[in-house]
Structure 1
């Protein structure tokens, strides 16, 4: 069974492509995470978790869901991580997670996809994004073939920088950067409520037809990127940048 969490569609695309190759069911975890639904689920063959990379590890909201949810049946767990450049030393922490659940860690496979972190980086236009995805297809198919064959993902070299990024940088990143204080809405807002609908933490509410952000944010960028009128900005950084939704 393939489980995925996705803010702007990269991980959804990868999960669905792997599912087409392996013939496995693909489950979107958005509602389960949003509703804090930790109901046990079952798979006979193996588990595959597809997730974005947040500061060189899986998102903490996904990690919490995995910790709290009983994945019954198969004890084999694969991780496929979409990233803008590198997943760092994420495997170390995923291995710990598997050990805590008494599951067999089958490796972590990074897939470089278009950059979507508009809060800090430059997002691509449609043509640039499609070119990055085209380059990623072979890696996605390689991951799918390894899963279908029942093997493990090959280990990848880990640098000192990888260790620092997934360790101390990740620890500092969340309290220092992951908040909603810089989000604001412009007059082009059409009061559609899409931002509230796509927030996995129910952190957005509408007041007089305009979004208001609370104190619980995971920086998935779904609200700003999925706004149909591009009315949401993140400080000055996002101004003028393309909003990114996976074009495939």
Structure 2
């Protein structure tokens, strides 16, 4: 069973590619995370968790969901992480997570996809994004082949910088930067409510015709990238930048 969390479509695309490649069920975790649904799941085939990379590890909201969910049937677990650059030493923490869950860790593979973290970086044009996805296709195929043949993902070389990024940088990044204080809606907002609907943490509500953010933000960028009027900004940084949504679909 392939389980994925995706805010702007990168991980959804990869998950569906893998699902089609190995002929297995694909499940979107959005509603489960949003509703704190930790009900038991069962699969006869290996588990494949596909998620974006947040500060060189899996998103905290996905880790929390895994920690609180019971997985029965097959005990093998693969991780696939989409990223704008690299996944650091995320595998170290995923191996510990699997040990805690009494699952058999079969490795983690990073797949470079278009950057969506508009809070800090620049996002690509649609043309550039499709070029990046095209380059990712062979890596997705490699992941499919490993899973189909019940082989562990190859272990990556890990540098001192990778250890620091996935360790102390991740630990500091969340409390220092992951908040919703810089989000605001411009006068272009039409109060459609889409930002609230795509928030995995129910952190946005519409008040007096404008979105209001709470304190549970995970910086997934779903609200700012899905706004049909591009009426949401993240401070001054996002102004003038392309909003990114993965337009490519699995045929």
SS in 1 for 2:220: coil
Match of 1:24 in 2: 24
Match of 2:239 in 1: 239
CA distance in 2, matches of 1:247, 1:121: 19
The 1-side partners of 2:189 and 2:97 are apart by: 41
C-alpha distance in 2 between matches for 1:40 and 1:131: 39
Superposition deviation, residue 5 in structure 1: 0.2
- Name 2:87's counterpart in structure 1: 87
TM-score by length of 1: 1.00
- 1:72-99 CA-partner distances (Å, limit 9, x unpaired): 1100000000000100000000000000
Match of 1:156 in 2: 156
CA distance in 2, matches of 1:38, 1:247: 30
Query: Between Structure 1 and Structure 2, how many residues are aligned?
Result: 248
> 1:155-194 alignment to 2 at 5 Å?
155-194=155-194
How much has 1:17 moved relative to structure 2? 0.4
Q: Secondary structure at the match of 2:205?
A: strand
Measured after TM superposition, the shift of residue 45 of structure 1 is 1.4
User: Structure 2: how far apart are the matches of 1:215 and 1:110?
Assistant: 30
Long gaps (5+) in structure 2: none
1:247 deviates by 1.5
The Cα offsets for residues 130-163 of structure 1, whole Å up to 9 and x where unpaired, read as 0000000000011011101111000000000000
- 1:50 counterpart SS class: strand
> For 2:162, what is the secondary structure of its paired residue?
helix
Matches within 5 A, 1:1-248: 1-248=1-248
3-state secondary structure, aligned to 2:108: strand
Task: State the 4+ residue runs in structure 1 displaced beyond 4 angstroms.
Answer: none
Secondary structure of 1:51's partner? Answer: strand
Q: What is the alpha-carbon root mean square deviation over aligned residues?
A: 0.4
Q: Partner of 2:66: helix, strand, or coil?
A: helix
